[in-house]
Amino acid sequence: MQCFSTCFVLSICNVHKKITMFCFTLFIFICYQFSFDCHIRRKHEDDISLFPISVVELIQF
């Protein structure tokens, strides 16, 4: 859930065209540690919109 919340926050940053280094770092720091949770969540098409496209590409290692 922590990862989910961070991804949501980052998507809001993206919507407002203000992807700051803070948002990006926060996402990487938390979502990397909870990458399994992210992996499961982005398998659901309903949730994929919560991920900015560029970030989705980044976490698909």
Cα–Cα distances (Å) from 3 to 16, 18, 32, in that order, read 20, 20, 9
pLDDT at 37: 54
Specify the long-range contacts of residues 28-34, CB closer than 8 Å, at least 24 apart. 28/58, 30/2, 30/3, 30/6, 31/3, 31/6, 31/7, 31/59, 33/3, 34/2, 34/3
pLDDT at 61: 41
Q: Which domain does 48 fall in, by range?
A: 2-59
pLDDT at 15: 53
pLDDT at 16: 53
pLDDT at 45: 47
Number of domains in the chain: 1
Mean pLDDT per 10-residue segment, the chain (61 residues): 55 56 67 56 50 51 41
